[in-house]
Amino acid sequence: MEWTTERRYRRYEDWTQEERKEIQEKMAQSPWHVSYHIEPKEGLLNDPNGFSYFDGKWIVFYQNFPFGAAHGLKSWVQLESDDLVHFTETGVKILPDTPLDSHGAYSGSAMQFGDQLFLFYTGNVRDENWVRHPYQISALMDKDGKIEKLIKS
């Protein structure tokens, strides 16, 4: 399989459940599958971000391209831990779903702000000539894990 630009930046909603299941099965059978480390359920783990302590838990996010071991349209996945040894994935928290992050959610961080976790990251946008235009995006996560991006249209 060739990782073309079109394949790397295919919208998340265009991947079928069957394609995702096949990716997960291939990963589970990989001889490089780790047993003691943070590892994505599917695809690429890149650039841990937003390491913080919030609501009595350690939180870390990582960039993820869930459709293969290649750099493409990245989202942020969240993990939580009580002991910094065992982590539980709580799901995709930031999707590239606005005009300011249409080509990926890139590096950022997090810090507690009142009773919410303040997230900030670089939204990646490419123009018709494939020139990158970065935007700084912020979001708030409540104690239930709900994200609200702070973007004005």
> What residues act catalytically?
47
SS3 at position 43: coil
Assess contact for 132 and 123: CB atoms under 8 A: no
Q: What is the helix, strand, coil percentage profile of the chain, to 5?
A: 10, 45, 45
Give the burial string for 49-76 (b: 16+ CB within 10 Å, else e).
Answer: bbebebeeeebbbbbbbbbbbeebbbbb
Q: Are 63 and 106 in contact (CB under 8 A)?
A: yes
Which amino acid is present at 11? R
Dihedral of CA 5/6/7/13: which sign?
positive
